[in-house]
Structure 1
Amino acid sequence: MFEVHRRWATLADRVDRATPAGRDRAVDALRAFAILGVVLGHWLVTALTARDGGLHGTSPLEHMPWLAPVSWVLQTLAVFFLVGGHVAAQGYASARARGVSYGAWVGQRLGRLFRPVAAVVALWAVVAASLLLGGVEWETVRTLLKLVWSPLWFLLVFAALTAATPLVARLNPVWPLAVVAAVDAWRFGLGGPEWIGWVNVAAGWLVPYTLGAAWSRGALTGRRPALFLLGGGAAAATALVLWCGYPASMVGVPNQAISNLNPPTLAAVAFGLAQCGLALLVREPLARAMSRPRTWAKVALLNLSAMTVFLWHQTSMMAVTAVGLMVSPDLPGLHTVPTSAGWVAARLLWLPVFAAVLAVCWAAFRVHEQPRARAAGRTTGRIAAGSGVSAEPARVPGNRRPAPSPAVSRA
């Protein structure tokens, strides 16, 4: 144990020394927290029940609406888009200053996003075909594929916004926010068609993305903008839930008439504004925490494999569920219907098991995200150059504080 501790301390010191002094470590910390929030959120609010000879998806939020506050804590996508807009705007500005073409810049960023996607899609295509050929009911296979592939919508939206960074980086967030409000007014207040809500998939996530771009320009310095976003967003989201009929849950709930997330509603966007305000408020305390080598090393290493963690976390949960069926079809917190606090307590006990299987998936598939990172020295080099799904790949710094603007440096 002492030897493991010593090796970890040595690695943490190497990572700390390899990190450029100007790197904004708080940005990486926010991204890591956003990814972990999504993972824990899915593990807690997604359930697979064994009945009628197959697996069926449900959610504790459907049976226990009082758990809605869990979604307020763990639905962290707005923070991810905030950081994504911040890093992409800085990265593109840096690329232009160095004479890097738009094609080369966007190719690097999208390649980092989609290389690991190919692995999970290919593996699950084989798994799905094998299950169907083995006589497994289509409903079970469809449930599993939905859990694996439905989160990929997020990557498509993120990739589209990344590619559009030169066009949207200076867009005022008020404009996409106005589009979201207009779409909801038409959809819910004027009886408009349901399909119009899908406009908000782009407009809704443009709001935090363009806020991040504004942050990169130094437009959100000081505490006042952050407090305004936090207070205004929280008040608006509360009012929309209490008096305008929006659901309290900030994630989709099976059999619920309206989903705040699929597609995003005005309530979800307002809630996201509050999250962005909170993220901006805590960036200075986070920066101080990240000055500790061992804390920073954990965040930096997670960012190096953030896409792998995101893409395989549902697979790890389903693998545990499938193996558990061999033991018993009624394991509490795993196969039982989530209708009581006892289920929640049991599910919490399963989280370390999910995490252990996710670690196995990470070891097997992280090579697709970091195909050239073979040795510890190369790993620390990549951390120094730019880590995380939103940061630039090696040798292209992605979230440095730009020197020319003192305002941005303070951010």
Structure 2
Amino acid sequence: MGARRLFLLLPVWFRFTLVTLAVFFCGVVLSRPAGANDERPLTGDVAVAARAVDAFAHPSAGHDPRNDLPHDFAEEQNRTPRTVTAPDGTQRAVDDGGGCSGPAGDTEWDFSVACRAHDLGYDLLRYAEHKGRPLPHDARKELDDRLAADLHRQCEINPRDAKTTCHAVAEVYAQGLKFNSWRQRWGPPGHEPVVAWAFGSAVVVFLLLARTGNRRREDPLAPHPVVQDRYATFLRIASLGLLVIGETIATIAHWTGFDPNWLWALQVVPIFFFAGGHANLLSWQEHQEHKGGFGCYISSRISWLMRPVLAFVLLWVVLFAALNLLDVEVDAYSRLITHPLWFLGVYILAVCATPVMAWLHRNHRLTTPAVLTAVTIGVEVLRASLDWRTGGYVILLLGALLMQQYGFFYADGSLDRIPKRTLAGVSAVTLPAIATLVYFGGNPRSVIILGLGQVCLALLARRPISNWLAGRSWHVIDFVRTAPMTIYLAYLVVLGLVVWMIGLVTAPVVLVLILVPLLLVFHRFETRRTWFPKLSHESHRTRLATGLGAAYGVFGVLGFVVTGFLGAEATLVVLPVDPLQNVIHLLLGWYLIHIARTGSCDKRLPWLLTALACVPPLLVLEPTAFVVVPHVATIGLALLASIPRPPVRTPAATPAAATPSQGDLVGSSGPVR
């Protein structure tokens, strides 16, 4: 019995509790900010603040800690410090605006002086951060230890006939404070979007549980996959492998301060999108033969990709949450894992563009690649002249679409008519040009030259490699094709051992011990066949769910590329993202694609859940327009889609108008229910 069936046998309340606790644990741990200690020496006002923190942490009866405050501290932090004598006889600097933030406030044992002094010490941490150099982590730890000692000391001085209760309350206050400091990695205290995190965690729970009860059966009328072109499949797998290896070497080279130009030899992204274009066009044509629309095509084409990617991401989120709980430094390894995922996000965009690009290929075969080439060159010129950083993302997408068009020519047999001498001549010109650009300029300024040379080489190697694939070697390629994320997971296990053995990072050895037994489980999950019924009708809701699902799936995948799995915030082109938001986006995209494939788009609950999933990003402290606009628009569309359609009314038969057939109703108003 599979793990999913065992999970479904559990009571609903137990499933809900189990998932909620797991999500809460991961959310709390992964919301921790990056906590690298600043090793720069303390100077100026920051050094004065450090001495003041030391005075706060080690008070005495004969020293006024207010004299140690920086000269502009009160003005910068809008505080009015004054000196008071604590119940233990020591002098403390406090501000009347402070106090205990626990549920019982200052309590009946009067923790007020200790809490106010601690709050003013936290203001010193904020002051140092404002000056550009946060204090070391030990500063906050010392302040927290001082407060814990003061609270317990107050219980000895003023027990009020409840010493045991007082010590229990003091311990709760102290542990809660230390937990919050640990969660903030002992850095400067700051205001955090707790409501957004709580709401976001609840949304993750709902999205995870929304599909646990769904069951799928094979539909014998569903279209079967098109016949595999073994060479095109080999190109996709080989380019994917070289791409991952190249990204790994580039990341490790960056760690070691070594940036070799020859890594461009492993940049086979054009070949990946060239071979992907071949598969995308054949799949689109197969859907058209079965009267399928673009919504059904896109959902079926990317669902096989998003499902293992989501499982892969959730697996690493849980693993990194466990390591993060132990304060293991895994940020570098997190980036190493997530960075190669960028091509998956771009590939989803290329898949979504396939119906339009296929129409352009059919009606404007030569004009389309010419226009894409001209636009790509124009964007490259603008990026170089205006230092337009976002232009790099545009070039990447345009290059993917251009290589996909070349794949269309390969799919319809047009490239087979090109003489081998021509292919060899183009390769002989483009590859030295690439080498020259790399040697003198550091990187080739045009992906067009790189892609053209690689495509020509791929066409020249087609016959010998196809003969090689006709034997047993195809079984290896077919295994990799059916379980790519499992292979990537195994690759990461080996990579973890390598980087640990050469001393770059220490965390992967722990990850390897955890990942090895999970490989078989993940492989079984990825290779498990999932069948969906063939939809007889594609409604506007199906297209809307597919479009939104693809968009949010891309947001989620690319979001992890820029943030990693830890609690760092980053910007995806113009959209601010964080790991929790990435999880929500990826889950929402997966869920919308799922309801599009299962024909559940006419139900109200999926759309209400979609609207709910777009609320957490709006609850952050200062959401930007790039956050508000797409999420508010999605909420509006989801609420409109949740409005039930009026039932189809069949008019009575009259001599002037016969009763419409079921086919007429399907063609005009939707399926008969």
* TM-score normalised per structure 2: 0.39
- Give the corresponding residue for 2:239: 34
CA drift of 1:39 comes to 3.6
Correspondence for 1:274: 453
Aligned mate of 1:167, from 351, 356, 366: 356
Confirm or deny: 8 A CA contact 2:236 2:271 kept in the other structure.
yes
Aligned to 2:463: 284
CA RMSD of aligned residues (A): 3.3
The structure-2 alpha-carbon separation of the partners of 1:298 and 1:216, relative to structure 1 and needing over 3 Å to count, comes to same
1:126-163 CA distances to partner (integer Å, 9 max, x unpaired)?
Answer: 22322332223xxx333222222222221111001101
| Cross-structure match for 2:381 | 185
Specify the code of the residue in structure 1 equivalent to 2:493.
S
Question: 1:234 and 2:234 equivalent?
Answer: no
5+ residue gaps, structure 2: 1-224, 506-510, 531-673
Tell me the secondary structure at the aligned position of residue 58 of structure 1.
helix
Query: AA paired with 2:438?
Result: V
Question: 1:212: Cα distance to partner?
Answer: 0.5
- Contact 1:227/1:277 (CA < 8 Å) preserved in 2? yes
Match of 2:331 in 1: 142
Structure 1 residue runs of 5 or longer lacking an equivalent are: 1-19, 48-56, 249-259, 325-330, 337-353, 374-411
- The change in CA–CA distance for 1:356 and 1:226 in structure 2 (over 3 A counts) is farther
Per-residue deviation at 1:304?
1.2
- The answer (yes or no) to whether the contact 2:376–2:399 under 8 Å persists in 1 is yes
In structure 1, distance between residues paired with 2:481 and 2:454: 20
**Structure ID, larger Rg:** 2
Question: Is 1:297 aligned to residue 475 of structure 2?
Answer: yes
| 2:381 matches 1:202 | no
Q: Which amino acid in the other structure matches residue 526 of structure 2?
A: E
Partner residue, 2:617? none
Q: Does structure 1 conserve the Cα–Cα contact (< 8 Å) formed by 2:490 and 2:519?
A: no
Give a deviation string over 1:45-104, Cα, whole Å, max 9, x none.
443xxxxxxxxx8356x4263xx33540x3222211111001101111121012223222
Determine what percentage of the aligned residue pairs are the same residue: 26
1:117 corresponds, among 285, 302, 309, to: 309
1:75 and 1:234, CA in 2 relative to 1: closer, same or farther beyond 3 A? same
For residue 43 of structure 1, report the CA deviation from its aligned partner.
4.6
C-alpha distance in 1 between matches for 2:259 and 2:391: 30
Deviation at 1:335, TM superposition (A): 2.6
Contact 1:234 1:271 in 2 (8 A): yes
2:497 corresponds in structure 1 to 320
Query: In 1, Cα distance between the equivalents of 2:348 and 2:226?
Result: 29
Q: Tell me the matched-pair count.
A: 292
SS state of the match for residue 320, structure 2? helix
Once the two structures are TM-superposed, the CA of residue 276 in structure 1 deviates from its matched residue by 1.5
- Identify if the C-alpha distance between structure 1 residues 317 and 291 changes in structure 2 by more than 3 Å, giving closer, same or farther: closer
Q: Is the 8 A contact 1:115 1:368 kept in 2?
A: no
Deviates more, 1:83-92 or 1:357-366: 357-366
How far 1:184 moved relative to its partner?
1.8
Between the aligned partners of 2:519 and 2:459, the Cα distance in structure 1 is: 30
**Deviation at 1:237?**
2.3
Whole-Å separation in 1 of the counterparts to 2:290 and 2:436? 47
Q: Give the corresponding residue for 1:69.
A: 262
Q: Give the secondary structure class of the aligned counterpart of 2:390.
A: helix
**Are the structure 2 counterparts of residues 285 and 226 from structure 1 closer, same or farther at C-alpha, using a change threshold of 3 Å?**
same
Q: Which residue of 1 aligns with 2:504?
A: 335
Q: SS in structure 1 opposite 2:456?
A: helix
Task: Tell me the equivalent position of 1:369.
Answer: 526
Give the alignment's TM-score, normalised by structure 1. 0.62
Relative to structure 1, the CA distance from residue 216 to residue 94 in structure 2 (aligned partners, 3 Å threshold; closer, same or farther) is same
C-alpha distance in structure 1 between counterparts of 2:512 and 2:421, whole Å: 39
* Counterparts in 2 of 1:87 and 1:357: CA distance versus 1, 3 Å: farther
Q: Is contact 1:228–1:277 with CA below 8 Å preserved after alignment? A: no
CA distance in 2, matches of 1:277, 1:212: 12
